[in-house]
A and B are shown apart, each in its own frame.
Chain A
Amino acid sequence: AQSVSQHNHHVILSEAASLELGCNYSYGGTVNLFWYVQYPGQHLQLLLKYFSGDPLVKGIKGFEAEFIKSKFSFNLRKPSVQWSDTAEYFCAVGGYNTDKLIFGTGTRLQVFP
């Protein structure tokens, strides 16, 4: 069955710490991969996406993600987090020939000054 796993449910960091959020997926065939962010009280916004090419993808606000096909992973990273990065982060996968996304359960990130 198609699925997306985000093993970190709640992450607490201090400002300037490095961040890595895990995302693993189970999907047969070519996939498109997304990270969305939901700031408190707001709607989901796209952070970055991967479709093909360079497996290291850079997004907004200093975030990046690396697609490792052999590990079925698309982990999100940021070298130095800020208080304003406090939000919930969702990984999503879409099959190349489908019109739907499958979302992970989300990771809540809290950054303290």
Chain B
Amino acid sequence: NAGVTQTPKFRVLKTGQSMTLLCAQDMNHEYMYWYRQDPGMGLRLIHYSVGEGTTAKGEVPDGYNVSRLKKQNFLLGLESAAPSQTSVYFCASSPLAPSSYNEQFFGPGTRLTVL
């Protein structure tokens, strides 16, 4: 079991470029989440999905789009990258919502720098 994997691990973009971050999980989890981690701000939820074909906005969704076409994959897109999107991005998955006595399992993160 690989758990939660993220691709790529590192990326440098120029302002205005686009990219897609891929999250994959092999645990058959229903819920998937994208967070960004910034110094002194903890983890902030960008978007999440409660099942294949569903997406919902989190705390900081602006500038990002997501898709969950397959249950095991959750993609995070940046259409026009900005320096403010320089961050470490974490994907997580959960078999059920946290309210149902299940933890979130995190991926290793993607470090993105936007110049």
Contacts and interface: CB of A to CB of B under 8 A. Distances in A.
Given A32-B99, A106-B42, A101 B90 contact: no
Interface string A94-113: 11111111011110000000
Interface string B79-115: 0000000000010100001110101101111000000
Give chain A's interface residue range (CB within 8 Å of chain B). 20 to 34
B40 A101 contact: no
B106 A43 contact: yes
A9 interface: yes
A16 interface: no
A96 B40 contact: no
A100 B45 contact: yes
Give chain B's interface residue range (CB within 8 Å of chain A). 20 to 34
Contacts, number: 60
B48 to A, nearest CB: 7
A74 interface: no
Nearest to A33: B98
Contact of B40 (A9, A36, A94): A9
Contacts of A32: 98-99, 101
B12 interface: no
Given A103-B43, A104-B42, A105-B40, A98 B99 contact: yes
Q: Which 7 A-B pairs have the closest CB atoms?
A: A94-B98, A99-B97, A105-B42, A103-B43, A44-B106, A43-B106, A103-B42
Interface of A: 6, 9, 32, 34, 36, 42-46, 49, 51, 90, 94-101, 103-106
